[in-house]
Amino acid sequence: MPEVPLPPEPPEPNVAQRTGLPATGAYAMRQTFAKEVDRRLNVPLAAQQANGRLLQHALDDHGHGALANEFVVLVDRSENVQALFVYFRAKPGDAWSMIGASPVSTGRPGTYDHFLTPLGVFQHVPGNMDFRAEGTENEFKIRGYGARDMRIYDFGWADGERGWGKGGVSPMRFQMHATDPEKLEPLLGMRHSKGCVRIPSTLNAFFDHHGILDAQYEARAAEGESMWVLKPTRQTTPWAGHYLVVVDSGAKARPAWSPGPGKAARARTPVGANSVD
């Protein structure tokens, strides 16, 4: 049986929230994202704004409507979107501004032990300690967590909708992580995981180096706790965030700005590719 989920930890303010640091540097992260993340989506302004409103609705529904002055990661699990967005706003009431976007793969129903990626607002806390990929291959020669040293973001146990049998809900371990860079990363942009969120390796490195979701980890480290998963070479942003938000826009058609993998990539799908997280 899965362990009983722990109650959420009270969010610790990040450096910017504690010091009133001007938000100029947070918006400058757009240029850093564009430089460091090689798989990006060119999202039109109208779609950026629409997704920002989806983010706000989800935060409102979960009691975080006044969240501001920190980065938030949004995932649209819609089969016709399959995208991740980084958002920021300086003050409550401001519109959310997109920092960058990339293709992802979320849960693909239809096979045993495959869940729809759970919806909701998920706090990133050391109580569900992250870990790093060993880079080893499974029996199908696939590195399910990606290359060695990629970070696995662990959000603990969540209620996932079963994508097999008669459906229903069961606990699943919810994570966000890289995937096999040669065999599976070309398939990002389509539903393909067992329920976790697969992201590009350069996006994983961007999150890791800049601590985009590490506000709670950095607070613990500042108190003297050993946060072994944090690299000594990191440059954590003062606007580090706390939350991954998953929504389903219900898009009826695939927007031009979020193309799925091409026929060539789909044709090269390896055996057992859908057996990893």
| 128-150 residue pLDDT tens | 999 999 999 888 888 989 999 99
Distance (Å, whole) CA 223 – CA 133: 27
Residue with tokens 């799925």: 260
Distance (Å, whole) CA 114 – CA 162: 6
Residue environment code for 106-115, b if the CB has 16+ CB neighbours within 10 A, otherwise e: bbbeeeeebb
Q: Is 247 exposed, middle or buried (0-12, 13-18, 19+ CB in 10 A)?
A: buried
pLDDT, tens digit, for every residue of 217-235?
999 999 999 999 999 999 9
- In this prediction, residue 188 carries a pLDDT of 97
pLDDT, tens digit, for every residue of 158-190?
999 999 888 899 999 999 999 999 989 999 999
Higher pLDDT, 13 or 5: 13
Say if pTM beats, i.e. exceeds, 0.85: yes
- Mean pLDDT, to the nearest integer, of 193-207? 97
Report which DSSP code applies to 275.
G
Residue with tokens 């599976």: 184
For the chain, give the percent of residues with pLDDT over 70. 95
Checking if the pLDDT of 4 tops 70, the result is: no
Residues ≥6 apart with Cβ < 8 Å to 112: 164, 165
**How many angstroms separate the Cα of 275 from the Cα of each of 21, 198, 237?**
45, 13, 35
Task: Specify whether the CB–CB gap between 184 and 201 falls below 8 A.
Answer: no
- In this prediction, residue 265 carries a pLDDT of 76
- Mean pLDDT, to the nearest integer, of 62-85? 98
- In this prediction, residue 274 carries a pLDDT of 66
Task: Specify whether the CB–CB gap between 122 and 245 falls below 8 A.
Answer: yes
Checking if the pLDDT of 1 tops 60, the result is: no
- pLDDT range class, residue 268, cuts 50, 70, 90: confident
Distance (Å, whole) CA 277 – CA 271: 15
- In this prediction, residue 167 carries a pLDDT of 87
Report which DSSP code applies to 104.
-
Mean pLDDT estimate for the chain: 93
The percent helix, strand, coil of the chain (3-state, each to 5) is 25, 20, 55
- Indicate the SS3 state at residue 229: coil
